[in-house]
Amino acid sequence: MSAADFAFLIAESDTFNRSFSLSIFVGVLLGFSGVWVFARNRRNVAHEQAAELIEFARREAAVGAEELKQKAEGEIAEKRADLNREFDRREIESDVRLREIRAHEESLALLDYQLEQRQERINRETSAVKQARDAIRALSKSVRKRLEGVSQMDAEEIRRTLREEVMLECQDELRALRRATLEKSEQELQTDARRIMIASMQRIASKPNNDLTATLVPLPTEEMKGRIIGREGRNIKAFEAATGVTLLIDESPQLVLLSSFDPVRREIARSALDALVKDGRIHPSSIEEFVQRARDEIELVTTQAGEDAVTKLNINGLHPEIIKLLGKLKYRFSYNQNVLDHSVETAFLASLIASELGLDPNLAKRAGLLHDIGKAMPGEHEGSHATIGAEFIKRYGETPIVINAVAAHHEEVKPETIYAGLTILADTISATRPGARAESMTSYIQRLDRLEKLALAVEGVQQAFAIQAGREIRVVVAPNQVTDDRAREIAKELRARIENELQYPSTIKITVIRESRFTETAT
């Protein structure tokens, strides 16, 4: 091979190498471009997947938050209902404790009264012992003087003197015997009267009632409140117009309030609303239908209540209209005492007292049962419930004795028979016996507080204590400022102020205490 050929081969080899290197470079560049494009596509796909995952996580979080919110609201509502139930339970317990406190107060007052009576008896016995001792001393002196005089008198003078003394002593004994006989007769009458009253009251056992001025109606769901209100309030307006009861809807969970002074209307409204909620169809036409149906049901219930009361007392011959009106007393309250229960109790008491006195118990029972029937009469009748009740039963053929007892049980009409007096007595016992007409704790505390403040407002009064469930007020005056005459005037003044300014059941005893105490300590 020549040198030219060799040089040509070298030149070709360099050209090939350069071409090969260029090819490699181009291949590498193309490979890098492909990888870069592939990586960018993968990155875009990853970004899209990440965005989808983030959006899915956001939706899941929103759903979970909404579920947690609903769960929290449900727990709050449940806890609120538990708190309401706990509040109601504690309120009932407070009422029970209040009644127990009143019973303890009455027991303490009775013990205090017994101690006072015992102290008075001891004082009387002490005074009698002193008088007997003084009489013995005087008699001893008299005997000594008589012996001294007898020694100087003859037989005729002694006989005359003895005759005069015996006549004087017999007159004193006769007067004492007459006075003791009269006092014994009066005590026996009082003892018999107390025995009859206590025996009659002990044979009556009835539970106290709580006065209601509003009724709570439970609802299945909160949505039912909106259905009860209706579009633009037309349902609630139709309900109130049909029942005459105010329907109050507040934030209380699943509860609405029915308020009315008339318990019969309130019961009709409650029954109608329960039926509407169970039926689910709430609109003005269905409201009128269900209210009328509830009114008919309540009328049946009241009629049955009247018949049950008559059957319980075993009274015959009452007119059906009287029984029907009597049953309406089931939903009437005097203070917080159910009037129908009070009427039945009064009938029992009148019957028991009449039996003790040898009178007709059936006639007394009839008068006691009907004495408050006027309270069930509609409001358009004018006059007191005693007067309109007597006119009503007279219209249906009751006897004049029962009519007079009903008309005179508040002494608006003069009692003409002893049965009217029995009705007045039985009515008073039933209304004023302990526990018959209990007050709420708030009004009870306010009444006692006002009674004490009224006494403390009198000049010269240091302390005032309302005891015996507010039936007695004890006032302690300053002895260095108030005399005995002024203490007596304070008692009269306080009695007048209580009668004019306070409303209270039964009577209030006022005791003004003025005493001075002197204490020394020996060491």
Q: Identify the domain containing residue 466 by its residue range.
A: 441-513
Assigned domain for 454 exists: yes
Give the model's confidence band at 473: pLDDT under 50 very low, under 70 low, under 90 confident, else very high: confident
| Residue 423 to residue 199: CA distance in whole angstroms | 17
DSSP 396: T
Looking at residues 109-120, what average pLDDT do you find? 83
User: Where does a domain end: 384, 415, 432?
Assistant: 432
Same-domain check for residues 457 and 479: yes
Instruction: With a cut of 80, say whether residue 15 has pLDDT above it.
Output: no
SS3 (DSSP) at 467: strand
Helix locations, 280-359, DSSP H: 284-313, 320-327, 339-357
User: 204: pLDDT confidence band, cut at 50, 70 and 90?
Assistant: very low
> Under a CB-based contact definition with an 8 Å cutoff, are residues 364 and 196 in contact?
no
Please, what's the largest Cα pairwise distance for the chain? 218
How would you classify residue 230: left for phi > 0, otherwise alpha for psi between -120 and 50, otherwise beta?
left
- Residue 351, pLDDT > 70, answer yes
Distance in angstroms (rounded) separating the CA atoms of residues 92 and 98:
10
Distance CA 146, CA 304 (A): 87
Do residues 265 and 351 both lie within one domain? yes
Q: How far is CA 450 from CA 106, 454, 476, 501, 504, in A?
A: 20, 6, 17, 10, 11
Lowest-confidence region among 9-18, 183-192, 324-333: 183-192
Query: Of the ranges 46-60, 72-86, 243-257, 386-400, which one carries the lowest mean pLDDT score?
Result: 243-257
Residue 101 counted as domain residue: no
| Type of residue found at 14 | D
Q: 484 with 359, same domain?
A: no
pLDDT at residue 453, as a whole number: 87
Do residues 327 and 302 touch, judged by C-beta distance below 8 A?
A: yes
Question: Of 399, 432, 465, which residue constitutes the final position of a domain?
Answer: 432
Looking at 432, 452, 486, which one is the last position of a domain?
432
- Stretch 299-315: mean pLDDT, rounded? 86
| CATH, residue 507 | 3.30.70.1350
CA-CA distance, 83 to 365, in Å (whole number)?
47
Residue 117 pLDDT exceeds 80: yes
Q: What is the pLDDT of residue 218?
A: 81
Q: Cβ–Cβ contacts within 10 Å for residue 387, how many?
A: 17
Of residues 164 and 418, more confidently modeled = 418
Same structural domain for residues 405 and 272? yes
Whether the Cβ atoms of residue 343 and residue 307 lie closer than 8 Å to each other: no
Q: Is residue 88 part of a domain?
A: no
User: Do 466 and 421 share a structural domain?
Assistant: no
Residue partners of 357: CB distance under 8 A and separation at least 6: 196, 418
The whole-number pLDDT of residue 151 equals: 56
Residue 202 clears pLDDT 50, i.e. is over it: no
Q: How many domains does the structure of the chain reveal?
A: 2
| Cα–Cα distance, 438 to 208 (Å, whole number) | 8
